[in-house]
Amino acid sequence: MSSLTATFTRPHEATGSLPAPGPGRFLIVNDDAGLRLRLAELLAPKCVGATIDTCTREGAKALGPKLKEYHAAVAILDFGPQSTVDPLHLIPELRALARGLPVIVIGSQGNERSAVRALRSGAIDYWPLHTVEAGELAAVLQAAAAGEYRRSSTRAQSVSLTLPGFRVLKELARSPRAVLYLAESVELAEQVALKVHRHSDANAASREERERFTRECKLLGQVNHRGVADMYDFGVTDEFHWLAMEYFPCGSLKSRMQHPLSEAEVLNYVTQLGNALSAVHAAGIVHRDLKPSNIMLRADDAIALIDFGLARPALALSSVTNPNVRVGSPYYMAPEQIQGLPPDARCDLYALGIVFQELLTGKLPFAGQTVAEVLDQHRKARPPRLPGSLSRYQALLDRLLAKRPTERLASAEAFLGALGAARSSTANRSATP
């Protein structure tokens, strides 16, 4: 048995006596020894002092009652067409041996349906294999070690929200004024993402805000494009606005950026973004908050835009110019937004330029120690130059990131045309003898 920060146990050794209790004891299950040990190595620095054992599927079942000694299990399951048996059969088998054992599924070749089925089989969470982030996974495991998942089989029992027509399953994310839940729609009989934006005071539910929210929801519902998340329903109560939309178990582009991206992948994503923005702008909508965490991924690597600012007021001059208040997403804000001017399609193209540069280089073009420093760079600083191998995209980025909207590319269609020209010039140079 080798030892790093965590203890890695070979499959046949997992049936023996278990080590002394520690800060946490977790089991990784997969028939590929290299894959499960690699995951254990990634988790070890994030779970200091924990015991991480690994074994095959059969080895896990052979543990029998000893499974109860583990705080959680991570099952890496293959959902590919070559699978001869349903990989999810493992989940109820493990939970039958150790009632209440929290099981996290990491899916290879899975899709949205795989995630839904995994959660219905009793898993507490699901990640596509290519989006796994060790820190986030470690946080879930440590929560299990602290007993969070021992008290109930799902997170639903700890959620107090009640909304007719939906059964809330668990909380996915939280911001100061909004909470995103995973819920099941009674009408659709499928899982949806339910965003709830609570009113901060009685004035928040003004007639003007209700009308704006309803108007923008209806506009967005008219955008029939795969690059925009499907919206199923929305409503306003005395306490909150709510929006039910497509659920994305594959996560966001921000999560995908934790892993290296090839140039081809970057061009694929920004081309899809250009097409999505073209459809959105044609419907008279400005996104206003384009950033990687608002760009979701489907199982086939298709993108879908979410969070169009429907549940919050437009940015106000006093908000964005106050260095002590952080409103919106300062790393992706166009200079005219910072000045408090009404945003139009060109502010979305500026944000697209920020995302494009970040995808190409792995770094934001404008950063700083404070929000005020970041905003000042948006207004004054020249974006950093691309490395020589990517210099063919520099002129395009310069036009996207122009400080004055009048000097910027005017439309998503113009961006797509310029991107196509940059790609063609590269292909022509490659073909030249």
Is the domain of 203 the same as that of 136?
no
Is the domain of 212 the same as that of 91?
no
Distance of alpha carbon 305 from alpha carbon 360, whole angstroms: 20
Residue at which a domain ends, from 145, 169, 185: 145
Residue 432, pLDDT above cutoff 80: no
CB of 270 closer than 8 Å to CB of 418: no
Is the domain of 313 the same as that of 379?
yes
Residue at which a domain ends, from 212, 245, 278: 245
Instruction: Give the pLDDT confidence score for residue 116 in this predicted structure.
Output: 74
Is the domain of 257 the same as that of 398?
yes
Residue 17, pLDDT above cutoff 50: no
Distance of alpha carbon 29 from alpha carbon 100, whole angstroms: 17
| Strands 190-198 vs 178-185: parallel, antiparallel or unpaired | antiparallel
Q: Which of 69-83, 105-119, 226-240 has the lowest mean pLDDT?
A: 105-119
Is the domain of 59 the same as that of 141?
yes
Question: Of residues 124 and 154, which shows the higher confidence score?
Answer: 124
Domain of residue 29: give its range. 2-145
What's the token pair of residue 246? 């497509």
Instruction: Give the pLDDT confidence score for residue 160 in this predicted structure.
Output: 67
Distance of alpha carbon 344 from alpha carbon 318, whole angstroms: 19
Residue type, 27: L
State which of 33-47, 117-131, 198-212, 383-397 shows the largest mean pLDDT.
Answer: 383-397
Residue at which a domain ends, from 108, 126, 145: 145
CATH number at residue 141: 3.40.50.2300
Q: At which residue do the structure tokens 């929801």 appear? A: 217
Instruction: Give the pLDDT confidence score for residue 336 in this predicted structure.
Output: 92
Q: What is the pTM of this model?
A: 0.62
What's the token pair of residue 338? 């910072």
Question: Of residues 120 and 68, which shows the higher confidence score?
Answer: 68
Element (H, E) at 340: none
Q: Of 53, 233, 289, 307, which one is the catalytic site residue?
A: 289
Q: Give 101's DSSP letter.
A: -
Is the domain of 302 the same as that of 320?
yes
Is the domain of 241 the same as that of 296?
no
Distance of alpha carbon 194 from alpha carbon 169, whole angstroms: 10
Q: pLDDT tens for residues 145-161?
A: 877 654 333 333 455 67
State which of 83-97, 115-129, 240-254 shows the largest mean pLDDT.
Answer: 240-254
Distance of alpha carbon 3 from alpha carbon 376, whole angstroms: 49
Active site residue 289: yes
Give the number of other Cβ atoms within 10 Å of residue 24's Cβ: 22
Is the domain of 125 the same as that of 219?
no
Question: Could you tell me if residue 151 is inside a domain?
Answer: no
Is the domain of 193 the same as that of 108?
no
User: With pLDDT > 70 as the criterion, what percentage of the chain qualifies?
Assistant: 81
CATH number at residue 181: 3.30.200.20
Q: Is 116 helix (H, G, I), strand (E, B) or coil?
A: helix
Element (H, E) at 201: none
Is the domain of 58 the same as that of 141?
yes
Number of domains in the chain: 3
What's the token pair of residue 319? 């908000």
What is the DSSP annotation of 59-83?
Answer: HHHHTGGGGGG-SEEEEEEE-STT-
Q: pLDDT tens for residues 185-208?
A: 999 888 899 988 776 555 545 666
Instruction: Give the pLDDT confidence score for residue 148 in this predicted structure.
Output: 61
Residue type, 124: I
Is the domain of 407 the same as that of 258?
yes
CB of 327 closer than 8 Å to CB of 309: no
Is the domain of 286 the same as that of 226?
no
Question: Could you tell me if residue 150 is inside a domain?
Answer: no
| 314 CA to centre of own chain | 24
Residue 29, pLDDT above cutoff 70: yes
C-alpha pair distances (Å), 138 with each of 42, 144, 154: 10, 10, 18
